[in-house]
């Protein structure tokens, strides 16, 4: 399987893993690269979240936090988006609850076995 390095955050895009038709999933090689906020309110840029005029998410609300993570994982086209809006520890904790396209889930679990283990433990 070919791996294309996107930038210095060591993210890779895997052609067989699609977020949706024509859009490859972007995955960081280390969960430590994900240093986004763990609390407070987050406003996503229009290129990540365009379906609602209000682009803000309250991370204190579990449903909104889950929605933000699903959106960023599905829509990110650059590793910088992942690093800016996701936190590695929160991602692992939320992973079993996230509704993601199969290609996104597989790409992340293949790169980060801890996510697959978190999903299996919750099942």
Per-residue model confidence (pLDDT) at position 27: 94
Residue 4: strand, helix, or coil: strand
Contacts of 19 (CB under 8 A, 6+ apart): 25, 26, 73, 74, 75, 101, 103, 104
Residue 34: strand, helix, or coil: coil
Show pLDDT as tens, one digit a residue, over the chain (123 residues): 223 333 334 454 444 676 666 678 899 999 999 999 999 998 887 666 656 655 688 999 999 999 999 999 998 888 999 999 999 999 999 999 999 999 999 999 999 999 999 999 987
What are the φ/ψ torsions at residue 83 (nearest 5 degrees)? -65, -35
What are the φ/ψ torsions at residue 39 (nearest 5 degrees)? -150, 170
User: pTM for the full model?
Assistant: 0.81
Q: In whole angstroms, give the CA distance from residue 105 to residue 2.
A: 18
Find the angle CA(100)-CA(120)-CA(98) to the nearest 5 degrees.
20
């Amino acid at each position: 399987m070919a791996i294309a390095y996107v930038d210095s955050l060591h993210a890779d895009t895997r052609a067989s893993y699609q977020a949706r038709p024509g859009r490859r999933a972007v995955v960081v090689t280390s969960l430590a690269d994900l240093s986004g906020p763990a609390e407070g309110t987050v406003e996503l840029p229009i290129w990540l979240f365009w379906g609602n005029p209000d682009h803000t998410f309250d991370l204190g609300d579990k449903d909104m936090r889950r929605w933000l993570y699903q959106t960023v994982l599905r829509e990110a086209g650059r590793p910088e988006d992942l690093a800016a809006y996701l936190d590695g520890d929160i991602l692992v904790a939320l992973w079993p609850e996230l509704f993601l396209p199969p290609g996104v889930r597989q790409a992340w679990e293949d790169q980060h076995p801890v996510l697959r283990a978190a999903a299996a433990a919750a099942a």
